[in-house]
A and B are shown apart, each in its own frame.
Chain A
């Protein structure tokens, strides 16, 4: 596949691996956080961790939209379906996230809730058009990548004067989450999570550009390399981060220059800003309340805001006590540090959100990398 295979070339990967091995300083430990779940997935799926020098450690960050969705938000969506009788439309992964009372959207569907998986916000809008007698709510989650399509759906709904469509907006913002991690005591004071740099988001950066990360390199002296989700992108980004650390630099570099510019997609940004405004605070799973880290629908579009339309009140719900998702999302713990990882908590029966999405740190390690926990003898053909 043109434009894909070039970024999965094993020969080039081995060359980058060899260069990394030459350039890392043996006495030094390198810890880089990949913010996006897409990078976590690529690292696991292509076996990248094994191709890095042993003193380069990748720390999984909170950049999986399903993993950071708090229980209370899913409870709201379930309430809409079961109590208000609305058609709730959402992305597939969201369906399986555990909620209160042993429910999830999948289980609420089995109890009679009209909950439908869609592939885009536009699909939800179409369902509203086809069911004028029913209320349709799009349960919107995701980072800056999925926000413009939600904004577009709201604008289209307004232009079409649709009376039965609204959005339960749970869109969150990347830069605020990174700031939150850098400000966390574990990173800033205790040093329990050494982070020498970030692999910056791929698709998010197409929308917001590279400029928002400049703050991290200036203020916190952390290098950021924005990288695509292909495995060679990740390998190259790690090499660029190692070089910055070795040279004592802390800059924003753009490995993903084939699609990411400094300014990003201005048209998308304008659309988002027309429809949404900042929330003063928003609860993230694992990170707690993070100021100015999410979006809500502007009052001028309130008729499309499910929280206003159905007078919803957010109620925080504590995570399962045995679950370490919070610490894993902050990079404080690894999936295998969690007592219930792979025993009580599996992809078939996820207790925590990190085990739900294939981009969650626990699911990625369980599905692709758990052979590393248990050495086995393998033969080649």
Chain B
């Protein structure tokens, strides 16, 4: 932040103020919003330069290393939910997208689309949460943008973030790498994020203690890659569409099938109960702090042990195997004793009518 206080300008009234069109007009009000809200929260050497872009030296890359860039838009409703908000989500989501390439994330950018009339106090909560998530992950937000849309043309706050990271030499992670016989690992219980968000939706409020699992997974990924160099073939975080859709994506990319064991897939009893109540299937509920890993069979034990040694992988489990299947079906042996297809999510999951 500038060390010189700009005279004759009243500071932003964060407590009572709200976003107006002037905050997006590129004038003094916009500069003030950026300085007093965004820079104050994200403060780092790149932002302090106040330029349109962040200028930085490329990281010293060993031969064979590669850069990864990932971008993600965050439009969650409601913006605040048990265990998180759109701010920390926008950091975790992109850090995880970078990490799922087996990369170490280095920098983030952030673009805000704000709706006229949105309270500054709520925006500050979101920005502070984002700043905290970025500091905890060790991945600074080094440049960004702010736009304001008229009232009714947005949904409060939309945040897009882009992340840059480095993949170490020898690491080859891709959705197309799964081979028949590989083992499917899951880092923990599924469905918490989606149920936490659902519980706050208008007209669907139900009492729950379930909190979103949103978190940055790059240190877990680093531990897994270290445990079995070359043994991890696919990494994916099962966000929208849940575990089922993610596994179908990988099956299609790898031109293989999968056979899962329902009894091995960890689900918290309270998530199970909420899904039961709403007629939803936890396999299709969004997660923000879980990953699936597909590993060579000989590496699976070491990777699983490394996951269980990490705080974000305590409940990690071996949930299935990759199969040879020209139709790329993800199938599951049910706990009940039958067999079924675990299909792509089609449309939205909806509760039973009668």
> By the criterion CB–CB under 8 Å, are B350 and A10 in contact?
no
CA distance A151 to B106 in the complex (A): 59
> By the criterion CB–CB under 8 Å, are B336 and A8 in contact?
yes
Decide if B191 is an interface residue (CB 8 Å cutoff).
no
> By the criterion CB–CB under 8 Å, are A47 and B318 in contact?
no
Shortest distance from the beta carbon of A305 to any chain B beta carbon, whole Å: 21
Shortest distance from the beta carbon of B36 to any chain A beta carbon, whole Å: 36
Decide if A247 is an interface residue (CB 8 Å cutoff).
no
Give the one of A17, A119, A146 with max B CB within 10 A. A119
> By the criterion CB–CB under 8 Å, are A366 and B343 in contact?
yes
Q: Which segment, of B13-21, B229-237, B269-277, faces chain A? A: B269-277
- A379 partner residues in chain B, CB cutoff 8 A: 180-181, 259, 321, 323
Which B residues between 130 and 180 are near A, CB-CB below 8 angstroms? 180
Decide if B334 is an interface residue (CB 8 Å cutoff).
yes
Decide if B62 is an interface residue (CB 8 Å cutoff).
no
Q: Beta-carbon contacts of B320-334 to A below 8 Å, as 1s and 0s?
A: 110111110101011
- B340 partner residues in chain A, CB cutoff 8 A: 44-47, 368-369, 371
Other than the given A13-B337, A374-B327, 5 more pairs (CB < 8 A) read A47-B339, A204-B354, A378-B257, A379-B180, A380-B333
B residues apposed to A, CB below 8 Å = 180-181, 183, 203-204, 257, 259, 261, 264, 269, 272-273, 276, 281, 318, 320-321, 323-327, 329, 331, 333-341, 343, 346-348, 350-354
Q: Beta-carbon contacts of A344-355 to B below 8 Å, as 1s and 0s?
A: 001110000000
> By the criterion CB–CB under 8 Å, are A376 and B257 in contact?
yes
Which A residues between 46 and 97 are near B, CB-CB below 8 angstroms? 46-51, 65-66, 91-94, 96
Give the one of B272, B320, B350, B353 with max A CB within 10 A. B353
Whether A38 contacts B352 in the complex (CB less than 8 A), given A118-B203, A119-B203, A377-B324, comes out as yes
- B320 partner residues in chain A, CB cutoff 8 A: 381
Decide if A216 is an interface residue (CB 8 Å cutoff).
no
Decide if A98 is an interface residue (CB 8 Å cutoff).
no
CA distance A66 to B325 in the complex (A): 33
> By the criterion CB–CB under 8 Å, are A1 and B338 in contact?
no
- A276 partner residues in chain B, CB cutoff 8 A: none
Decide if A142 is an interface residue (CB 8 Å cutoff).
yes
- A367 partner residues in chain B, CB cutoff 8 A: 341, 343, 346
- B341 partner residues in chain A, CB cutoff 8 A: 367-371
Whether A381 contacts B321 in the complex (CB less than 8 A), given A47-B339, A51-B338, comes out as yes
CA distance A379 to B203 in the complex (A): 44
CA distance A376 to B327 in the complex (A): 8
What are some 11 contacts across the A-B interface (CB < 8 A)? A8-B335, A8-B336, A41-B352, A47-B339, A65-B354, A119-B203, A141-B353, A204-B354, A368-B343, A369-B341, A371-B340
CA distance A44 to B341 in the complex (A): 9
> By the criterion CB–CB under 8 Å, are A93 and B353 in contact?
yes
Decide if A143 is an interface residue (CB 8 Å cutoff).
yes
Among B327, B329, B343, B350, contact of A92 (Cβ-Cβ < 8 Å): B350
- B204 partner residues in chain A, CB cutoff 8 A: 119
- B259 partner residues in chain A, CB cutoff 8 A: 378-381
Decide if A217 is an interface residue (CB 8 Å cutoff).
no
Shortest distance from the beta carbon of A130 to any chain B beta carbon, whole Å: 11
